[in-house]
Structure 1
Amino acid sequence: MRGVAKACALAGVSVCALLGSSTTARAIGDNDSQAPSSSKGSGDRSGSTLTASATATHIKVTQIGGGASGRSAKPLAPVDPNWRPPACWYEPVAAPQGLKDAVDRLKKGGDLVPVTPTLSWGEELMVDHYEKGKAESGSGDGYTNYNLGKDGRFWRGVINKNRENDPESAVCERTLFWQNAGTLPDDKHAPTPDVLAAYAYGRINVPSTRVELKPAAKSTVNAPTWVWLDKGTFKEVRVRAELADAGVWAQTMAKPVALHLDPGTEEAKTLPASGNCGINDDGSIGTPYTKGDAGKTPPCGITYLRASNGQPYKLKASITWQISWEGSGGAKGDLPDGTFETAQDMTVQEIQAVNR
């Protein structure tokens, strides 16, 4: 990344500034009416001008199947604690005319032009490099008249807003560069389908439904507590992430595969012993308790061996979601499983009783 002092020295009488990643700045204008609208919270279009922060992205995210909304919508936590979505990537931000318009505004006293997520250039550097074709140290050869008439776009880095304070987000600092239409940068931070799939992972919302219990909240020692979820409660969730300007997309799928029970005490036995209750073919988990099931062993449940003695046990139920993806060009793969956990109070009494 070019430092502030070096950039200002190169600028001469020009003005330059380093913008913090959370600082809102006037970004590059874009006259291409085919450009996709930015996702919610990423920026605002007014005519041919895009006002955006360093975390603004043109990646459009759409939930196309399953999932939840409102208060019932909850994000997944990756099973692998070391896995994280991409901290930053490159994407197209301006057509040639859009870049020229931004510099023209700068010449009239407008805002500096962001050339990386954190660095903006003043008039002299912008004119020399993007209009007059002058090479700049660390930025490669210059461009003639903003590449007007050529088919392609200028690209720069974008920071994942969920990781903007992560040091890894500082690696996408290539100065605003040209990329021909229909091609992706030869860079490990290019927005390839796997990058979009990982980005979509963080936008998956699953329902926070509590498991059904019998007895509902009060059990007895050595009597099994039945646990189940009705069919259709959990369905496959599909989230699509698309960067239309780059011709890249990915669809990330989350499929519920198991319910894991943690009784909240070592003085208990789970059924099955692993605590993992599989998903039935109809989408249900376990079997609902019905009258006459007393004395039977539930396919999914818990038997408490000691009373809770006034302090309820915290029964934890976590759904495991298997994550896979497919994308443009026939790409596909898997991502770490995700989980969502809920907790319920369970009071266990000593009196032996039969469920009715």
Structure 2
Amino acid sequence: MSRSRRTALGASAAALALAFGVLSALALSAPAHAAEPGKNGEGASTEESGGGDDTGIYAAAKIQYSGAVAKGGSRGNVTSADVNWTPPPCWYAPAYGAKEFKKKMSASLKEQMGTPGMGGHAGAALAEAQRHYEDGYGWTDTPGYKDYNVKKDGEGMFWAGVENPDEPDYLKRTSCTDLPFWVDNGEAPPPQYEEAITPEILAALAYQHMKLPDTKVTLAPDGRTKVNLPTWAWLDHATFDEVRATAAINVPGFNIQATTTATPKSLTLNPGTKDATTIPASGECLIVDSKIGEPYAKGKSKETPPCGIIYRRSSAGDTFPLKASLTWEISWTGTGQAGPNQMPDGTIEAVQDVTVEEVQSINR
């Protein structure tokens, strides 16, 4: 029998979700633990590709993160400068060898079909799913499988939808809802699976997990300045090292990776009060000769700094929250991709408290 896979899924999505709910727990929904960031963004690789089980089949493939990434697989500290840019809510990736998939799916289907009251559309959908994997029942763009492809065990893998744990649930529910599908080793996934994992998706995930150095602006005077006195601002030269984060999937027959690179671009100062003048007027200090701003030196108190602030009124015993935003240019390279390829800039923000005092005059 042949009919549209997407039509079939749309008509019984809720019932099929019962049959395949086990996949969200057994597949790749939890990312690998991230590596400890190292000097200049070079961290030790995280090895969590998984081993086999008593069937000799590969365990579910996990994304491996390395380089300058947040600890424990958590989200990084980079905010995209493009408010419309978001990491993928889900993707399809290699999950199971044929024998392992049969074992897990057979158990899940048996459990669901044995649930009291499992009839009507739900029961029909479960029976349809069982025929799809056991009896070759397929649709126009998706062939069925005979006995879960166990005769091809080791020659490919079943791919399954993976939810991005850091993205909103409503995005996950509307994406990657197709049934697990087979891909031969060395072959690309069928073109209808637009969310199949690619180097570009891995680059976006590396971006999402990237950990950049905190932005600490050096000030002179430091933390306490005077009204109408130029406050010099600059960044330590070590801040300008490139930072790299890598995401990869490595399983037999399928190995791809992408490295996302961040390079400092400019520093933007927000004085924390309207009664201040930024230098330059835009508040954005660009990199010049591999540095942002210029360190203050004795004898320059009457000079205008290339990057800084002049406060026009005192903080009246309180402080002004100086916000410093360091913008990083983001690019990526990946398996089989010409590069570097541009991604939206990223920003790191930090707030420093500044006390501004009136200039004391002496009356004679």
**TM-score, structure 1 length as denominator?**
0.77
SS in 2 for 1:191: coil
Q: Is the 8 A contact 1:67 1:235 kept in 2?
A: no
* Counterpart position of 2:311: 304
* Structure 1 residues without counterparts, runs of 5 or longer: 9-15, 29-36, 51-55, 113-118
Matching residue within 221, 225, 230 for 1:224: 230
Richer in helix (by share): 2
Instruction: Choose 206-215 or 145-154, whichever is displaced more.
Output: 145-154
Secondary structure of 1:345 counterpart: strand
The within-5 A match list for 1:115-194 is: 127-135=130-138, 140-150=142-152, 151-185=155-189, 186=191, 187-194=193-200
Equivalents in 2 of 1:68, 1:285: separation in Å?
A: 26
Distance 1:342 1:281 in 2: 24
Given that 2:92 and 2:161 are in contact with CA atoms closer than 8 Å, whether structure 1 keeps it comes out as: yes
Instruction: Provide, for residues 160-207 of structure 1, a one-character-per-residue CA deviation record: whole Å limited to 9, x for no partner.
Output: 111141335531011111112222321221212211111111011011
Q: C-alpha displacement at 1:62, in angstroms?
A: 1.1
Aligned-partner SS, 1:161: coil
In structure 1, C-alpha distance between the alignment counterparts of 2:123 and 2:86, rounded to whole Å: 28
- How far apart are the structure 2 equivalents of 1:287 and 1:120? 71
What one-letter code is carried by the residue in structure 2 that aligns with 1:161?
P
**What is the number of residues matched between the two proteins?**
318
Please list, as runs of the form range in 1=range in 2, the aligned pairs for 1:9-28 lying within 5 A after superposition.
16-17=18-19, 19=21, 25-27=25-27
What residue in structure 1 maps to residue 32 of structure 2? 39
Counterpart secondary structure, 1:166: helix
Q: Does the CA contact (< 8 Å) of 2:20 and 2:108 recur in 1?
A: no
Distance 2:54 2:124 in 1: 18
1:127 & 1:171 partners in 2: Cα distance?
A: 23
**CA distance 1:100–1:265, shift in 2 (3 Å):** same
Residues 223 and 20 from structure 1, CA distance in 2 versus in 1: closer, same or farther, beyond 3 angstroms? farther
In structure 2, relative to structure 1, the CA distance for the partners of 1:167 and 1:265 (3 Å cut) is same
Cα–Cα, structure 1 residues 19 and 138, in superposed 2: closer, same or farther, change >3 Å?
farther
Residue 7 of structure 1, CA deviation:
4.5
Counterpart CA distance in 2 for 1:6 and 1:109 is: 14
Q: Cα offset for 1:57?
A: 6.5
CA drift at 1:289: 1.3
Deviations 1:83-130 (A, max 9, x none): 101111111111112223325656997999xxxxxx999996665332
**Residue identity (%):** 39
Task: Report if aligned partners of 1:76, 1:206 keep a CA contact under 8 Å in 2.
Answer: yes
Tell me if structure 2 keeps the 8 A contact 1:154–1:179. Answer: yes
What runs of 5+ residues in structure 2 fail to find an aligned partner? Answer: 1-8, 35-47, 115-121
* Counterpart position of 1:277: 285
Look up the match of 1:82.
84
Over the aligned positions, Cα root-mean-square deviation in angstroms equals 3.7
Match of 1:206 among 187, 205, 212: 212
CA distance in 2, matches of 1:49, 1:124: 28
1:12-52 Cα offsets, whole Å, 9 max, x none, are xxxx557499xx73459xxxxxxxx96129x99685289xx
2:201 paired residue number? 195
- Which stretch of structure 1 is more off in the superposition, 142-151 or 120-129? 120-129
Tell me the TM-score normalised to structure 2 length.
Answer: 0.75
Residue 174 to residue 107, structure 1, CA distance change in 2 (3 Å)? closer
CA shift in 2, pair 1:74/1:131, >3 Å: closer
Structure 1: distance between partners of 2:326 and 2:280: 15
CA contact (8 A) 1:193 1:331 kept: no
Q: Tell whether the 8 Å contact from 2:61 to 2:94 is kept in structure 1 after alignment.
A: no
Letter in 1 for 2:88: P
Offset from partner CA, 1:322-346 (integer Å, 9 cap, x none): 1111111124421111111111111
- Shift of the 279–289 alpha-carbon distance from structure 1 to 2, 3 Å rule, reads same
- In the other structure, the counterpart of 1:116 is none
In 2, are the aligned partners of 1:139 and 1:174 still within 8 Å (CA)? no
